[in-house]
């Protein structure tokens, strides 16, 4: 505690002793020193000896801070040794095979991805009567069940998803290449499913039930069409 002493009658304010003044002064100096030191530290973090993107460097003769990549550098996950899985093309032509084996899991994943990404426009059946175009679209998506698209090579379908087609946007960045192929496989399965006949059943395999006959148009799959009363017809599979 600083000692207080009464001075004169005119100045009745308490006064600090010489010792206390010294203490106060050294405290202020210490405080200033601390501020000065800590602010210097902060500045150091802000002004670092580094190069910002595209900043000039006096260190290299070409004055570019970015250095060219070492020859043969490959970015992670961008080693495309085989181009077919990423383009669907062999040379300039579209290939017509899957770049990996077709399994039940592949088909299931393809159906899931198709229903998420494509069915809003192309419908669950792929007839082009999806919900989005039903609200007005400058050009309707085509049905997959046309001779031209039924014959289209798988690589072509992959290309349409990868690069878009006409007013259809591309899905290169939203859907990984592997999933795009799985969708392609599912689109081909949809095409086969809409045109299958009894003749397509492998020999020796039993047909579990007769295909149903519908009295109303099959529609987009959003609602079930009305089924005809079971008859003893020897009809082939429904053709659209």
Q: Interface with ligand HEC by CB under 6 A: which residues?
A: 117-118, 120-122, 132, 139, 141-142, 149, 157, 160-161, 165-168, 171, 183, 187
State in angstroms the smallest separation of the CB of 120 from ligand HEC: 5
State in angstroms the smallest separation of the CB of 188 from ligand HEC: 10
Alpha-carbon distances, residue 181 vs 153, 170, 233 (angstroms): 12, 14, 39
Whether residue 211 contacts residue 228, with contact meaning beta carbons closer than 8 Å, is answered with no
Among candidate residues 164, 182, 162, the one with its CA nearest the CA of residue 172: 162
**SS3 sequence of the chain:** CCCCECCCCCCCCCECCHHHHHHHHHHHHHHHHHHHHHHHHHHHHHCCCCCCCCCECCCCCCCECCCCCCCCCCCCCCCCCCCHHHHCEECCEECCCCCCCCCHHHHHHHHHHHHHHCHHHHCCCCCCCCHHHHCCCCCCCCCCCCHHHHHCCHHHHHHHHHHCECCECCCCCCCCHHHHHHHHHHHHHHHHHHHCCHHHCCCCCCCCCCCCCECCCCCCCCCCCCECCCCCCCCCCCCC
Q: Which residue, 173 or 232, has its beta carbon nearer to ligand HEC?
A: 173
Task: Give the CB-nearest residue to ligand HEC.
Answer: 166
For residue 93 the two structure tokens come to 């032509």
State in angstroms the smallest separation of the CB of 139 from ligand HEC: 5
Q: Which residue, 65 or 143, has its beta carbon nearer to ligand HEC?
A: 143
State in angstroms the smallest separation of the CB of 177 from ligand HEC: 12
Q: Which residue, 51 or 162, has its beta carbon nearer to ligand HEC?
A: 162
State in angstroms the smallest separation of the CB of 194 from ligand HEC: 14
Tokens 């659209």: give the residue: 240
Q: Which residue, 9 or 148, has its beta carbon nearer to ligand HEC?
A: 148
State in angstroms the smallest separation of the CB of 108 from ligand HEC: 16
Q: Which residue, 42 or 148, has its beta carbon nearer to ligand HEC?
A: 148
Q: Which residue, 166 or 204, has its beta carbon nearer to ligand HEC?
A: 166
Q: Which residue, 50 or 135, has its beta carbon nearer to ligand HEC?
A: 135
State in angstroms the smallest separation of the CB of 40 from ligand HEC: 57
């Amino acid at each position: 505690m600083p000692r207080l002493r009464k001075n004169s009658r005119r100045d009745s304010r308490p006064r600090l002793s010489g010792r206390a003044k010294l203490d106060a002064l050294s405290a202020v100096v210490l405080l200033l020193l601390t501020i000065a030191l800590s602010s210097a530290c902060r500045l150091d973090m802000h002004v670092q000896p580094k190069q910002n993107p595209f900043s000039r460097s006096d260190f290299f003769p070409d004055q570019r801070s970015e250095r060219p990549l070492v020859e043969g550098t490959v970015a992670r996950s961008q080693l495309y040794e085989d181009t077919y899985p990423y383009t669907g093309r062999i040379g300039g032509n579209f290939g017509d095979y899957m770049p990996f084996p077709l399994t039940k899991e592949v088909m299931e994943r393809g159906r899931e991805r198709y229903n998420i990404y494509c069915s809003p426009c192309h419908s669950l059946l792929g007839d082009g009567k999806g919900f989005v175009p039903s609200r007005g679209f400058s050009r309707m998506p085509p049905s997959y069940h046309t001779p031209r698209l039924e014959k289209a090579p798988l690589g072509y379908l992959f290309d349409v998803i990868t690069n878009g087609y006409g007013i259809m946007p591309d899905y290169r960045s939203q859907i990984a290449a592997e999933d795009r192929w799985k969708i392609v496989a599912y689109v081909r399965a949809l095409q086969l499913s809409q045109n299958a006949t009894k003749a397509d059943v492998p020999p020796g395999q039993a047909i579990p039930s007769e295909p149903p006959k519908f009295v109303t148009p099959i529609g987009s799959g959003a609602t079930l069409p009305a089924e005809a009363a079971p008859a003893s017809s020897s009809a082939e599979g429904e053709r659209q």
